[in-house]
């Protein structure tokens, strides 16, 4: 059989494939501790040398990230200055209103936080109204009747500082809202109506 008739391993013709030499990967460096000193009868006992401390995760987090445009200015993940993303479930009408306000140059988070701040004094009543509860006091008991209204909702993602999220969570508890989304819905409702 001539060299022209020999088939390659794939059976497509051409020169036969050569075997490549197998090169083992380089050995991984191992961290070894120095040998323990051997006690001698004449020598005083020697304490073993302390190993250098392992780098902590917080030290790694303090290093700025490199990006294509240079060094990131983002704060470490656990710090109060770090920006945390959260999702809010809002009625479509409110989400569209926030998006319209966003075109004026401010962020979704700032629009929402400004609405909460502006409606701070009215929030308890707005949250109660949003829960569709009408409270009546008969002198002995506080009675409530619930009405459920179905509204189309959508998610809106915002990023804000950890301190702002902590404040939102405190307001949720103080206003007896069932979630951050409910508190934001109440504040946006009040803001859009004023």
Query: Per-10-residue mean pLDDT for the chain, 194 residues long?
Result: 53 64 74 58 54 48 49 56 90 94 86 95 91 64 65 93 94 94 95 90
* Predicted local confidence at residue 175, as pLDDT: 93
* Predicted local confidence at residue 60, as pLDDT: 42
* Predicted local confidence at residue 25, as pLDDT: 76
* Predicted local confidence at residue 63, as pLDDT: 47
* Predicted local confidence at residue 28, as pLDDT: 72
Q: How far is CA 31 from each of CA 28, 34, 60, 88, rounded to the nearest angstrom?
A: 10, 10, 21, 48
> Using CA atoms, how far apart are residues 121 and 111, in angstroms rounded to an integer?
18
The neighbouring-strand residues paired with 136 are 143
* Predicted local confidence at residue 59, as pLDDT: 42
* Predicted local confidence at residue 168, as pLDDT: 95
> What's the predicted TM-score (pTM) here?
0.55
* Predicted local confidence at residue 22, as pLDDT: 76
Contact 83, 161 (CB under 8 A): yes
Q: How far is CA 193 from each of CA 36, 119, 123, 131, 139, rounded to the nearest angstrom?
A: 77, 11, 13, 17, 33
């Amino acid at each position: 059989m001539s060299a022209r008739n020999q088939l390659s391993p794939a059976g497509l013709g051409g020169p036969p494939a050569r075997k490549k030499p197998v090169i083992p990967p380089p050995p991984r460096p191992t961290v070894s501790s120095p040998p323990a000193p051997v006690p001698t009868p004449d020598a005083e006992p020697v304490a073993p040398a302390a190993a250098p401390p392992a780098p902590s995760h917080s030290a790694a987090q303090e290093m700025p990230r490199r990006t294509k445009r240079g060094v990131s200015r983002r704060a470490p993940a656990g710090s109060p200055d770090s920006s945390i993303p959260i999702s809010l479930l809002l009625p479509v009408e409110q989400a569209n209103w926030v998006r319209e306000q966003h075109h004026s140059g401010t962020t979704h988070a700032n629009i929402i936080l400004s609405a909460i701040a502006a409606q701070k004094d009215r929030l308890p009543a707005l949250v109660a109204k949003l829960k569709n509860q009408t409270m009546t006091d008969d002198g002995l008991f506080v009675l409530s009747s619930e009405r459920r209204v179905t509204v189309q909702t959508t998610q809106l993602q915002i990023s804000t500082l950890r301190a702002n999220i902590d404040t939102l969570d405190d307001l949720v508890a103080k206003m007896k809202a069932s979630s951050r989304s409910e508190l934001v819905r109440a504040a946006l409702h009040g803001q859009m109506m004023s």
